[in-house]
Structure 1
Amino acid sequence: MNVSPHIMKKHTTIQKDFYRESGKWLSGKDILLKCINPNLHYIFLLRKCQKHSKKTISGIFWRFLLRHYQIKYGFQIYPETEIGEGFYLGHWGAVVINPKAKIGKNCNIAQGVTIAQANRGRYEGAPEIGNQVWIGPNAVIVGKIKIGDNVLIAPNAYVNSDVASDSLVIGNPAQIISKENATEGYINFTV
């Protein structure tokens, strides 16, 4: 279900992230009640950190809380990471995303995923991930590579080269298969 751009402008980034979970627009109170879920709670804290400068008292407070929950939940996702609206963590635990990575809108990331920087070689740097990308459990994406829009990265895939839009990625080493509507049925309630 897609939402008209006119309606989306009225909602905050946090509301857009939480919309991805249920397909319902939530009030601030409803969002806080949903924070019993570790995935949503972490996204809430991450977005609060991104909203406040780290040199302010509120920024220090939110970063302190985020650090505590990084350890508790096993998410290593930093406020410096550029992440588009509609971010969705499918399950909690052991997700590592390099702070230099860029992630587009309406992306799903499952447990055990690593999005890492390469420190040498042809692809030295961090990945850039497009819009509407589904990343399955234990997938690894590494290096200065570009993942296009509407890409499904299967569980346990190892991706260290560019992936065109409308693709399915499977295996280690990654095999890239052109597939229109690759994420259909995997990514719901887009914003």
Structure 2
Amino acid sequence: MAEKYSTLQKDFFRESGKWLSTFQIWKKCINPNLHFIYVLRMAQKYRKTPGFNTFWRIVLRHYQIKYGFQIYPETEIGEGFYLGHWGSLVINPQTVIGKNCNIAQGVTIGRQNRGKNEGSPVIGNEVWIGANAVIVGAVTIGNNVLIVPNSYVNFDVPSNSVVIGNPAKIIPADNATREYINRKV
């Protein structure tokens, strides 16, 4: 059933639990998180279309500054993307993020420019990233992973895990994101 809906509709479904028309989506853009996701998805959609690319990049830049989200059209983000709160969020453009991921405020997902983990993170499906967490380097975060607020992650995390602390520790958990990630698409 969800296959007939656009990526944007799937993102907005995560917030409301309802399939929305284009007009209903536009009405929900009063919410800064949803408004930013709308603009980001438009910038991604028209990334390779001359004219529209420039327009949406300018609009995106305006809202990056206004809302404090530093996410770029080049960032690969799966459907069902959810921003829990607005303000101060940095995601490197070379990061890959899977489906049904939640990211809270204050999160940094960054590139490491030297050393054994040189590169950007790859984040799996159904990952919940808590406030002020930091994920850096060419690390892989598996599916069904909960990263507790204020955790620092610079190593691979297997699927079905909870990550907690600084230095972070991995705790295996089959239902790591149950009740944290709702309305999956």
- TM superposition score normalised by structure 2: 0.99
Partner Cα separation in structure 2 for residue 75 and residue 30 of structure 1: 23
2:88 is the alignment partner of 1:89: no
Alignment of 1:56-75 (within 5 A): 56-75=50-69
Preserved CA contact (<8 Å) 2:133 2:151: yes
RMSD, aligned α-carbons: 0.7
Aligned residue pairs total 185
Q: Deviations over 1:138-180 (max 9, x none)?
A: 0000000000000000000000000000000000011000001
Q: What is the aligned-residue identity percentage?
A: 68
Partner Cα separation in structure 2 for residue 53 and residue 181 of structure 1: 37
Partner Cα separation in structure 2 for residue 94 and residue 69 of structure 1: 12
Q: Which residue of 1 aligns with 2:132?
A: 138
Q: Which residue of 1 aligns with 2:5?
A: 11
Q: Which residue of 1 aligns with 2:104?
A: 110
Alignment of 1:30-69 (within 5 A): 30-54=24-48, 56-69=50-63
Q: Deviations over 1:43-80 (max 9, x none)?
A: 00000011113451111111110000000000000000
Preserved CA contact (<8 Å) 1:54 1:60: no
Q: Which residue of 2 aligns with 1:188?
A: 182
State the 4+ residue runs in structure 1 displaced beyond 2 angstroms: none
Letter in 1 for 2:90: V
Letter in 2 for 1:143: G
Preserved CA contact (<8 Å) 2:47 2:73: no
Q: Which residue of 1 aligns with 2:119?
A: 125
Q: 2:20 aligns with which of 10, 19, 26?
A: 26
Q: What stretches of structure 1 of length at least 5 have no aligned partner? A: 1-6
| Partner SS for 1:62 | helix
- Report the Cα offset of residue 32 of structure 1: 0.3
| Partner SS for 1:9 | helix
| Partner SS for 2:15 | helix
Q: What stretches of structure 2 of length at least 5 have no aligned partner? A: none
Q: Deviations over 1:13-53 (max 9, x none)?
A: 00000000011000000000000000000000000011113
Q: Which residue of 2 aligns with 1:3?
A: none
